[in-house]
Structure formats: structure tokens, C-alpha cells
Amino acid sequence: MILNKKSKDLTGMIFGYWSVIGLSHKGVDRQYYWFCKCKCGSKKTVLGKNLKSGMSKSCGCYRIKQSIDACKTHGLSNHPIYSIWKAMIRRCTNINDPGYKSYGGRGIYVCTEWLLSPQIFINDMYEKYKKSLTIDRIDNNDGYHKENCRWVSAKFNNRNKSTSKSVLRTNIKTGETKIYTRITDVIQDGFHQGHVSYCCLGKLKHHKKYYWKYISLIKV
């Protein structure tokens, strides 16, 4: 693809945490999109005008760094569960973290409120925290958010990691069923992961004319 004469080649330029690798494509909006690599190592296609205006500074890790810096300024970094928040963010967002493959790499996310504010995480989770406990996701295939997290012993957490919750989909009209090994797999068939999770937890009756429920499989 060739840039028009009025457009500047951004290849090799740096914008915030982004390093521009090269031109990606021209969108239906007639704007140029650039293939970029973030300082943390992740890659993404970014709209050119967002790079030049500073609207996009990183893949999201820049805002996380701001949150961490704010914590140091306001003393939150000394809070008992701050290190837990920091480790949770790191394994879900940093591709260089040893645990990323088992978390962020397979679709485990941190909700926006917790991602950008350790204070909200502390407000939501500190009340039931005890020094001997670790954070655990009730649904092992869902992300970190208030409804899906609890404090458990390390022994319980290790046992829970060996259990995989598959999802059973049942057509309301025909009764036809299908099993998804992981809840993230439902996205491939056009379903909303969050809505499916709510169905499995009993918060919704159905999603897109299907019933949903968890099936626990023990790994061997």
C-alpha cells in the first residue's frame, strides 16, 4: 500500500510506548492504520491520528503504570493486598511475565475497574482478606472481577487449578447440545462470554436461545 502525498510515513517513529513497525491498511473511514509494537512487547494496529494526537500511548500498560505510580505517591503500595493486585495485573497483561501464558494468554482478563484502580480492588476485596489467603477465581475460565473472585487457602487454590469447567450449550427448542472445553471458546461461535458466564451462574435464564451450564472435568 502506498501513502498519498499528504500523509506522513510513521514507520520507525515512537509515540509514547508505541514503536511504529509499518503501515497496516487504509480503513473504510479512509484513515491509515499502523502496525505498532508496545514497550511491553505486545503488538497492535493503531489509528494514525490517535498516535499523532497522543490519544493512544500504549496497549494499556501506560495507564497501568500511571496507576502504580499513583499508588506509590499516595501510599497504597504499602497496603497488604497491593502486591496481589500488581501480580494479578502483570500475569494478565504482560506477555513477558512467566504466568502470562496461563492467564492473559488464554483470555483471562482483569475488569476495567480493577485494571485502572487498585483502590477499587482494595475496596471490593479487602474486607474478607486474611494474610494466609490467596485470590481465587470461582470460574477458572472467567476473568478477575468482584463477582468471580474470593479469598481461599493456597491448598484450595492449587486443587482448584486442576479442575477445568467446560460449558454445556443446549438449544431451547431442539434440545441439541454442544460442549465447549473453555468458556472463552464460545466467542468463536458468536456468543458473548460474559452473558454465557451469567447464565452458568444463574444470573440469566438464557443467551441467544440457548441454555448454558458448567460441567466440571478433572484433568488427568
Rounded average pLDDT per 10-residue block, the chain, 220 residues: 79 92 88 90 88 86 69 69 90 87 87 87 90 87 91 71 72 92 83 87 91 69
Same domain, 151 and 184: no
Residue 39 has what pLDDT? 85
Residue 66 has what pLDDT? 67
Q: What is the mean pLDDT of the chain?
A: 84
Q: What is the pLDDT of residues 41-81, one digit of tens each?
A: 888 899 999 999 988 888 877 777 766 666 666 566 778 88
CATH number at residue 176: 1.10.10.10
End-of-domain residue from the set 161, 193, 210: 161
Same domain, 168 and 210: yes
Same domain, 149 and 181: no
Residue 217 has what pLDDT? 58
Q: What string of H, E and C letters represents the secondary structure of the chain?
A: CCCCCCCCCCCCCEECCEEEEEEEEECCCCCEEEEEEECCCCEEEEEHHHHHHCCCCCCCHHHHHHHHHHHHHHCHHHCCCHHHHHHHHHHHHCCCCCCHHHCHHHCCCECHHHHHCHHHHHHHHHHHCCCCEEEEECCCCCCECHHHEEEEEHHHHHHHHCEEEEEEEEECCCCCEEEECCHHHHHHHCCCHHHHHHHHCCCCCCECCEEEEEEEEECC
Residue 48 has what pLDDT? 92
Whether pTM exceeds 0.75:
no
| Domain carrying residue 189 | 163-218
Residue 56 has what pLDDT? 87
